[in-house]
Amino acid sequence: MARKTAKNAQEILMADFQALVLDTERLLEHTASLAGDQVEELRAQIKDSLFKARETLEETKGTLQDRGQAAVVATEDYVQANPWQSVGIAAGVGFLIGLLATRR
């Protein structure tokens, strides 16, 4: 369950970032008909930023997937090794959330 949730959150984040990059590329295509030195300089800066963003996206994607997977595996291993402590911790957290929710 936790693996699916973490994976879905990562996929949503990556999809949103990729949509942003695609939208920016479309904006660049639409401004191609504009003339002037400032427009060309701006377009070059945007292209450079997009290139850097794509590189960062690819690097971050792998890192986030590895870290998320490691966290999920570590949590599942702990719960399997210490089931009663995990139940106690979950009950304590649930109790605290219940207290905080009833105070409001």
CB under 8 Å to 69, separation ≥6 — which residues? 3
Place of tokens 């690819």: 58
In tens digits, what is the pLDDT along the chain, a chain of 104 residues?
A: 555 666 666 777 777 777 777 777 777 777 767 667 767 777 777 777 777 777 777 777 778 788 888 888 998 898 889 889 988 988 999 999 998 888 86
Structure tokens at 3: 């693996």
What's this model's pTM, rounded to 2 decimal places?
0.42
In the chain, domain spans:
1-102
How far is the C-alpha of 6 from the C-alpha of 65, rounded, in Å? 9
How far is the C-alpha of 86 from the C-alpha of 94, rounded, in Å? 12
Q: Residue 14, SS3?
A: helix
Helix (H) or strand (E) holding 34: none
Q: What pLDDT, on the 0 to 100 scale, is given for residue 61?
A: 78
